[in-house]
């Protein structure tokens, strides 16, 4: 990440924690409540190699275990791309046996982002294709700038989306729309992506990171216990029938109803002050 990018961030990030050569984590705001997971392989437009996949998974493990982190923002240090997907140059050198061995490593990167327990936001600019778009789809919200180009082109090279795309895209835009996008392998530019619901917020060119961090800061002002429980309820309840979904919600409600955050939230409301969340 460039010095100019660091200076432009209003969130006053701490020094980054490195996970291998291609991934960094920065913690923003008071107490590090907003974390930024930086895809940092700019020369390859963040093509996900085996080493990078391991680093993404390791960074997600660390973030998931950190109770101070209330929101994670996935960003890119490449000026041209969020992520162009799998490193096909590396894949071209694999034997079939090596590809089989690499598969769990690749999956670990995508499930690492998907399984983060706190709300997650992708800040997308430039190309977000194949596995790159799947990393964004694994997040709860996607903020994209006007340069964004998204898509799942895997069938055009003889494979299928393997980072969750066949499951996450229908959940976002519906089965028929997802089928058209996957089967045609077409790339979708920013304005159409916003109109189709492929991204949630469209911002001016160069503003995706700042807007995503600002959104994260607003979310992080809420109860960390409540945020994680709400995400858990929505994720686990999705696709269930209504009655089963309400049971999932009730279990999540019970997990927060007697928490310190609930007590503090009610007290702060009645005392007309800002809550100081204990996070438990």
Residues assigned a catalytic role: 86, 131, 134, 154
What is the C-alpha to C-alpha distance for residues 107 and 250, in angstroms, rounded to an integer? 31
Backbone phi and psi for residue 31, each to the nearest 5 degrees, phi listed first: 80, 5
CA separation for the pair 258, 252 (Å, rounded): 11
- Give SS3 for 2: coil
Nearest CA-CA partner of 133 in 188, 189, 194, 85 = 85
What the block records as the tokens of 2 is: 């460039």
* Tokens, residue 193: 């992506």
User: Is 36 strand, coil or helix?
Assistant: strand
Q: Do strands 141-145 and 201-203 pair parallel, antiparallel, or not at all (unpaired)?
A: parallel
| The pair of three-digit structure tokens given for residue 184, joined into one six-digit string | 């045609």
């Amino acid at each position: 990440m460039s010095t100019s990018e660091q200076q432009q961030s209003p969130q006053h990030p701490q020094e980054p924690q490195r996970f291998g050569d291609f991934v960094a984590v920065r913690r923003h705001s008071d107490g590090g409540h907003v974390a930024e997971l930086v895809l940092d392989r700019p020369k390859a437009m963040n093509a996900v190699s085996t080493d990078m996949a391991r680093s993404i998974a390791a960074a997600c493990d660390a973030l998931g275990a950190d109770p101070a982190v209330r929101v994670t923002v996935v960003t890119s240090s490449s000026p041209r791309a969020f992520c162009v997907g799998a490193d096909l140059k590396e894949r071209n050198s694999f034997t079939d046996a090596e590809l089989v061995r690499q598969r769990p490593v690749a999956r670990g990167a995508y499930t690492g982002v998907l399984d983060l327990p706190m709300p997650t936001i992708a800040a997308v600019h430039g190309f977000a294709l194949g596995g790159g778009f799947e990393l964004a789809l694994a997040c709860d919200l996607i903020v994209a700038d006007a340069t964004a180009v998204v898509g799942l082109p895997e069938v055009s090279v003889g494979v299928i989306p393997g980072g969750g795309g066949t499951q996450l895209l229908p959940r976002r835009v519906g089965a028929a729309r997802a089928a058209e996008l996957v089967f045609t392998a077409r790339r979708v530019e920013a304005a159409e992506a916003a109109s189709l619901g492929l991204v949630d917020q469209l911002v001016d060119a160069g503003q995706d990171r700042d807007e995503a961090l600002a959104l994260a800061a607003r979310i992080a002002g809420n109860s960390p216990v409540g945020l994680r429980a709400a995400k858990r309820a929505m994720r686990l309840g999705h696709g269930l029938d209504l009655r089963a979904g309400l049971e999932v919600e009730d279990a999540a409600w019970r997990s927060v109803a007697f928490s310190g955050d609930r007590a503090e939230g009610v007290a702060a409301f009645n005392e007309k002050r800002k809550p100081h969340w204990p996070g438990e």
